[in-house]
Amino acid sequence: MNVNIKTLIEEFPILKKLMNYEEILWINDKKQPTHVILEQTAITEDMVTDAEQRLDRFAPCLEEIFPETRLTNGIIESPIKPTPRLGEYLDTHWNTNIKNTLYLKCDNDLPISGSIKARGGIYEVLKYAEDVALKNNKLKRTDNYKILATPEFRKLFGKYSIAVGSTGNLGLSIGIIGAALGFQTTVHMSQDARQWKKDMLREKGVTVIEYENDYSVAVAKGRKQAEGEPNTHFVDDENSIDLFLGYAVVARRIKKQLLEANIVVDDNHPLFVYLPCGVGGGPGGVAYGLKQVYGDLVHCFFAEPTHAPCMILGMVTNLHNQISVQDIGIDNKTAADGLAVGRASSFVGKTLKPLLSGSYTLSDERIYRYLANVYDLEGIQLEPSALAGLDGPRRILTTYEGQNYLKREGLDHIPAEHFTHLVWATGGKMVPKDIFKEYYKLGK
């Protein structure tokens, strides 16, 4: 798109800071009361319930194919962990009081592919598998879905293909589940994708096509190739409602987890959730689900690298996918490979704009420092993208913009110990030890 940068900067002065790679906190002044927006949107609670029930039906199949899911009865879920040592350390540096209110949502521990993408990505492939089996009259919804793990179904699925474009983790989750079920699976990888992720996919029999371009090009090429092939399903990270629903299911499980941990969420105990954001599908689906469950009691913030702030750019300008970070001179080069996206999802941007509290950017240097902190203090191995959310509490509690947000929302009188800060750790379990050591050194 031909963007008149001068005119845009005059209208949205915050863009100048983005262009200078400054760390910013953008507060969304277009946020509306949750109930008003949810009444108007096309994605209903029934749709999320349908997705939840489908995942339950597939649980016996997943237990069969992936024995590590037997611990959770075939449900792909991660724990919420308190991080008191990390909180205490950050308190001394930030002059805050989050020691007993800081938690990690450990999607780095998710079974099968060890990242948040195991939610939406695997869900969409399972839904496609169900559709194929039903269409071929091989399955009824009342059957035990364990049968989908048998050679008969592998043979059936082998006649069908799945394709996806990815910077890494979505490709990993779809490649692993697609190949495990028997689908011919192709992953179109952008230049930002880590070599170990490509190697792992190839070891599992997945076709990996590499591009010298960024994420948006990989997705476009993958989409175009899939269009011309019969019996091929393209997982469209930029526009997929199925992916979105797969992510949204987690909100109901979080409600249960917080209740079990005696963590209260009400008018006097707000829940703040910080979500790393690339193209937007994962954090968008999670945030949407949380707003369905908690309404205005939950405050969702996206976190993006200073070198790839595509969602802030799209939302601030209201241009969404009509503008890329490269259009305003930002290079889209970041250590947070999962967030190295130059052009945001229009579907997610438009759906979440009236629900999102805000978004912030942070530098790669800060990301690496947090990576080392989390490992040293809590013994948790995360990949760079997964640390973006950890700067959230500092932004809300110690900045002018954050304080203004608390005032605007009527939360400035609430004691610090009544807040819950939930940082979404999006991935890390699959990172090879030698590569994690390199990340760690950069944070020391």
CATH 3.40.50.1100 spans which residues of the chain? Answer: 5-43+80-112+247-443, 45-66+115-243
CA–CA separation, 258 vs 119, rounded Å? 19
pLDDT tens digit at each of 444 positions of the chain: 567 889 999 999 999 999 999 999 999 999 999 999 999 999 999 999 999 999 999 999 999 999 999 999 999 999 999 999 999 999 999 999 999 999 999 999 999 999 999 999 999 999 999 999 999 999 999 999 999 999 999 999 999 999 998 888 999 999 999 999 999 999 998 887 889 999 999 999 999 999 887 788 888 888 988 898 889 999 998 899 999 999 999 999 999 999 999 999 999 999 999 999 999 999 999 999 999 999 999 999 999 999 999 999 999 999 999 999 999 999 999 999 999 999 999 999 999 999 999 999 999 999 999 999 999 999 999 999 999 999 999 999 999 999 999 999 999 999 999 999 999 999 999 999 999 999 999 999
Domain 5-43+80-112+247-443 is in which class? alpha beta
Class for domain 45-66+115-243, per CATH? Answer: alpha beta
Q: Are 188 and 209 in contact (CB under 8 A)?
A: yes
Residue 71 · residue 392 · CB < 8 Å:
no
CB 277 within 8 A of CB 358: no
The pLDDT value given to residue 167: 82
Q: How far, in Å, CA of 189 to CA of 191, rounded?
A: 7
Alpha-carbon separation of residue 372 from 136, 334, 386, 423, 440 (angstroms): 51, 17, 12, 16, 5
Residues 121 and 235: beta-carbon distance below 8 Å = yes
CB contact at 8 A, 368 and 384:
yes
**What was the pLDDT predicted at 251?**
99
Burial 62-81 (b: 16+ CB within 10 A, else e): bbbbbeebeeeebbbbbebb
CB 415 within 8 A of CB 444: no
What distance in Å separates the CA atoms of residue 154 and residue 61, rounded to the nearest whole number? 12
